[in-house]
Every structure is written in C-alpha cells, then in structure tokens.
C-alpha cells in the first residue's frame, strides 16, 4: 500500500472551478461526493470570476492565489474524478518537486453510457470510456509557488479551448520538464458539450499558435507569458 506523509495531506486544499449549468450539476456532485468519501480531511471550495463567460484559467489562478505559497493545492475540474492512490502520490511529491503533478497516465472520458454506469455504482475502471490521448488537464496538484514560477494559466483563453495545452507548453519550456505524471486514471463525466466555435474560440486558437511558436524557447515563452493581463478582478 502506498504510504505518504499525513502532515502534508492535512494541509491540502481542493479548488474546483465552478459555474452552475444544468447538465453539469450531476458530475459536480459526483466529484464533491468522491472527495467527501475518500479525503474528508481536505478542504474543498469552488471558485468563479465575474467574467461574462466562464474562464477556466482565471478560476484556477484566482483559486490558487488565495492559498499559502508552499501548501499543496489540488485544482480539480468539476467533472473529473481521480483515483485515490495516484492522487496521494501526487500530493506527496508536489510540495517539494518544483513541478506541477498530474495524478494520471490515462484520461477516460466516460460519455453518457459510462457516466450512467459510474453513477449506478460500477467500478470506474469497468465503465465504458473513450481514451483521450495527450490530455493534460482535469486534475492538477501543485503549490502556489510552483504555479507562479511558470505564470499559471493564461486568462486570455476565454470560454473553452486550449488553455490547458498552452499551459503545458509553458510548463515544459520554463520549468525544463513536463508536468510529472503518476500511474493511474482520471474519469471525466458526461455533460452537454460546450460550443467550440465563434469569436472566443478563434481567438483562443490564434493564441495557442503563438504558444506553439514559443515552445522550447524560454526567452520567447517568458515574453509571451509576460504579456498576460488578467481578465477579472483578483
């Protein structure tokens, strides 16, 4: 059985970016119930901003900014359930590694059928799923100090799309390493898909191309990160 330092676990906060939407409530309740059952000692809170659209990057940045710089913080999407052992391993390592940790090596999108199976009590490993290759979001484990070292996430990504992929490139380029992964799975629960089209999405795609252009060049990436202007009040 995996062992970890209880003194670290006792300080852990869980930040969930959250703006209520009818199709998302069931998944949100499943995530918060999982934490209440598996880690009742963790402090769980939701975070939103005053933006007219939901800005995941801004929620993540605002949530972690309110924590002590060297405390371990879990940033958990409102539709994603991790596995307990992988999360423990990430929590144990994140306080001293200087890297962000992802408590999974496989991202399972359960879809409507798999989510219904999970909610009915089936072990999530047995639920129907689609494997999402290259996933780098869902659950992050870090400290505010580490998050700040590579600029957190870019709040210019408004609405849905690309903020996680851009963040991943900034992490690799500015911290000299990809986020550290831990063997395990996360399970993304079903909700109505957001529209990935229109002016916000097009602007996100264009900004993502700039991140791709700066990848591997610390000077260019620092310059790009330095342009960021928060889109909501602290």
Strands (E), the chain: 13-17, 43-47, 73-76, 80-81, 101-102, 106-110, 130-131, 139-142, 180-181, 185-189
For the entire predicted model, the pTM comes to 0.91
* Cα(3)–Cα(225) distance, integer angstroms: 37
* Gyration radius from the chain CA atoms: 17
Q: Evaluate if residue 9 carries a pLDDT over 70.
A: no
Two tokens, residue 33? 């119930």
Mind listing the pLDDT tens digit for each residue in 71-87?
Answer: 999 999 999 999 999 99
Which stretch of 27-41, 154-168, 186-200, 206-220 has the lowest confidence by average pLDDT?
A: 186-200
Nearest to 66 by CA among 90, 46, 92, 93: 46
Q: Evaluate if residue 48 carries a pLDDT over 90.
A: yes
Domains for the chain: give ranges and CATH numbers: 6-226 (3.90.550.10)
Q: Report, as an integer, the average pLDDT of 197-211.
A: 89
* Cα(214)–Cα(219) distance, integer angstroms: 8
Q: Report, as an integer, the average pLDDT of 109-127.
A: 97
pLDDT score of 193: 67
Q: Are the C-beta atoms of 86 and 183 separated by less than 8 Å?
A: yes
**CA 76 and chain centroid, separation:** 5
Q: Evaluate if residue 49 carries a pLDDT over 50.
A: yes
Three-state DSSP class for 180? strand
Supply the angle between the helices 56-65 and 163-175 in degrees, to the nearest 10: 50
Q: Report, as an integer, the average pLDDT of 60-76.
A: 95
pLDDT score of 6: 39
Q: Are the C-beta atoms of 124 and 199 separated by less than 8 Å?
A: no
For the ranges 8-12, 20-24, 25-29, the maximum mean pLDDT occurs at: 25-29
pLDDT score of 229: 60
* Cα(73)–Cα(175) distance, integer angstroms: 18
Q: Are the C-beta atoms of 110 and 26 separated by less than 8 Å?
A: no
Cβ-Cβ contacts under 8 Å for 66 (sequence gap 6 or more): none
Residue 144: count other Cβ atoms within 10 Å of its Cβ: 20
Cβ-Cβ contacts under 8 Å for 22 (sequence gap 6 or more): none
pLDDT score of 68: 93
pLDDT score of 234: 38
C-alpha neighbours within 13 Å on the C-beta side of residue 223: 9
């Amino acid at each position: 059985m995996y062992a970890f330092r209880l003194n670290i676990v006792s300080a852990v906060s869980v930040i969930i970016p959250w703006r209520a939407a009818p199709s998302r409530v069931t998944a949100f309740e499943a995530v918060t119930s999982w934490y209440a059952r598996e880690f009742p000692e963790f402090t769980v809170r939701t975070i939103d901003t005053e933006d007219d659209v939901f800005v995941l990057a801004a929620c993540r940045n605002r949530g972690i900014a309110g924590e002590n710089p060297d405390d371990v913080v879990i940033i958990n999407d409102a539709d994603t359930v991790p596995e307990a052992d992988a999360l423990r391993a990430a929590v144990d390592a994140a306080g001293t590694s200087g890297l962000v940790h992802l408590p999974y090596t496989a991202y399972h999108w359960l879809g409507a059928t798999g989510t219904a199976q999970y909610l009915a009590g089936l072990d999530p490993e047995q639920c129907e799923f689609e494997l999402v290759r290259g996933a780098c979001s869902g659950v992050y484990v870090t400290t505010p100090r580490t998050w700040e070292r590579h600029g957190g996430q870019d709040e210019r990504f408004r609405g849905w799309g690309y903020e996680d992929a851009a963040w991943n490139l900034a992490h690799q380029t500015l911290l000299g390493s990809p986020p550290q992964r831990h063997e395990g799975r996360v399970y993304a629960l079903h909700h109505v898909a957001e529209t990935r089209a229109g002016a916000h999405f097009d602007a996100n795609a264009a900004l993502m191309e700039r991140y791709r252009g700066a990848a591997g060049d610390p000077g260019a990436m620092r310059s790009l990160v330095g342009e960021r202007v928060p889109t909501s009040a602290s």
